[in-house]
Amino acid sequence: MSDVQKSLALHLGLLALLFVLQFILPAYHQGNLARIMVLATYAIGFNILFGYTGLLSLGHAMFFAAGMYGMGLSIRYFGFSPGPAVIAGIVAGVVLSAAVGALALRTVGVAFMIVTLMFAQAVYLTVLYFGEFTRGDEGFVIQQAERVFLGIDLSQPTERYFAAFALFSVCLLISMWVIQRPFGKVLIAIRENEERAQMLGYDVFRHKWGAVILSGTISAAAGAFYGLLFGYAGATFATVQYSILPLLWVLLGGAGTLIGPFIGALFTFYLIDIASGLTNAYMLIVGLVLVLLTLFARQGIGGEIRARLWKWLP
């Protein structure tokens, strides 16, 4: 089997497994997995920028929130049905990521991290500022009746699971496709040696900008789906915590691997799930894992697998 075929087998296999699990799992885990798949999609978005292009953004929550509020506000105030609402969320993501990218990409390294952090903070504060409409930290509920898409009631566990699954599969396949295209390969080249890529004649800025937009859009799609499927939009999702979490998921699962985002999201979810049963200081786990990862296992789980076992893992 060629490398491409092995990769396809693995990822399609994962999707098949996820599809089947819906029928096997007890309700609690089924709900968790739906959540995990949406969050893993967010991680996929983050991974495209961080894992594949090598740009660390500390402000991705702004894209997630843009999707969530784009979707939520259009249902709440403009009476959109779920389909157009999600599209509104995605469009919000595209616009925001294009604007932020155009500015932030003028900086590099640490400055880029701080700039993205600042923009995200500004977005969070803006959500609070317009609390009259967004209901700030408290957030607002999206009613069950508003979550019916083409006759399918997305608040029901099974329908919700499949919607999450659909989102995750589409975005996973998109990322798989992008990595194999010339565009994706240039992103990897930029990560590996940006000056060299530039001196080969590639317009590095435009490629990075494209990466930011793709990354932000997928993150926004995840945000839109999260709000829709779980019926709630709130400013918490725009806080720094939701910018750090995808970083944790991707680092843990393996930055720069296709499967890493899912593995990271899965592990972290259950780690936090178990931890919050023990203490209300469950973010301690996040802190410890981040420190341990960056000290000892920068490649994450996926990266270790790729280094030691399956060299073909994309």
Partner 1 sequence: MSLLSTQGLSKSFAGLRAVHDVNFTLPKGEIRALIGPNGAGKTTFVSLLCGRIEASAGTVEFDGADVSNLPAHKRIQRGMAYTFQITSVFAKLSAHENIALAVRRRGGDVAVDVPHALERVGLADRQNDLAGDLSYGHQRLLEIAMGLAQKPRLLILDEPTQGLADSEITAFKALVRDLAAEATILLIEHNMSVVMDTADKITVLNFGEILSEGTPAEVRADKAVQAAYLGTG
Partner 2 sequence: MIASFEGAVTAAVLTLTALGLSLVFGVMRVVNVAHGEFFMLGAVLAWWIATAIGGHPAYGFVAALVVAPLLVGLIAALADMTILKRIDYDPERTIVATIGLLYIIQQVTLMTYGPEARPVEAPFNSRILLPLLDWSNGWPSLYYPTGWGAPSITSYKLFVIGAAAAVVFSVWILMTRTKIGLIMRATQLDGEMAQAFGIPIERVYAFVFGLGAALAALGAVLIVPIQQAHYLMGHDPLLLSFIVVIIGGLGSLPGTVVAAILIGMSDGIISVFFTPTLAKIIATMLVALVLVFRPQGLFGTRAA
Chain contacts with partner 2 (rule: CB under 8 A): 56, 58, 103-104, 106-107, 109-111, 113-115, 118-119, 121-122, 125-126, 128-129, 244, 247, 251, 279-284, 286-295, 298
Of residues 254-273, those binding partner 1 (CB under 8 A): none
The two tokens of residue 17 are 């497994």
283 binds, among partner 1, partner 2, none (CB under 5 to 8 A by kind): partner 2
The answer to whether the beta carbons of residues 113 and 57 sit under 8 Å apart is: yes
* Interaction of residue 202 with partner 1, rule CB under 8 A: yes
Closest CB to partner 1 among 29 and 185?
185
Q: Which alpha helices (H) appear in the chain, and where do they start and end? A: 3-24, 27-47, 61-78, 82-104, 109-129, 131-134, 157-180, 182-192, 194-199, 204-230, 241-253, 260-278, 283-296, 300-308
Contact between 105 and partner 1 by CB under 8 A: the answer reads no
Question: Closer CB to partner 1, residue 129 or residue 205?
Answer: 205
Count interface residues toward partner 1 (CB under 8 A): 17
**Residue selected from 186, 218, 245, 313 as contacting partner 1 according to rule CB under 8 A:** 186
148 in helix, strand or coil? Answer: strand
Q: How far apart are CA 130 and CA 104, in angstroms?
A: 24
**Chain residues 166-185 in contact with partner 1, contact rule CB under 8 A:** 182, 185
The distance of closest approach from Cβ of residue 217 to partner 1 in the complex, given in angstroms and rounded to an integer, is 25
How crowded is residue 80: how many other Cβ atoms within 10 Å of its Cβ? 20
Long-range residue pairs from 272-275, CB within 8 A, at least 24 positions apart, any chain: 273/32
From the list partner 1, partner 2, none, partner contacted by residue 197 (C-beta under 5 to 8 A by kind)? partner 1
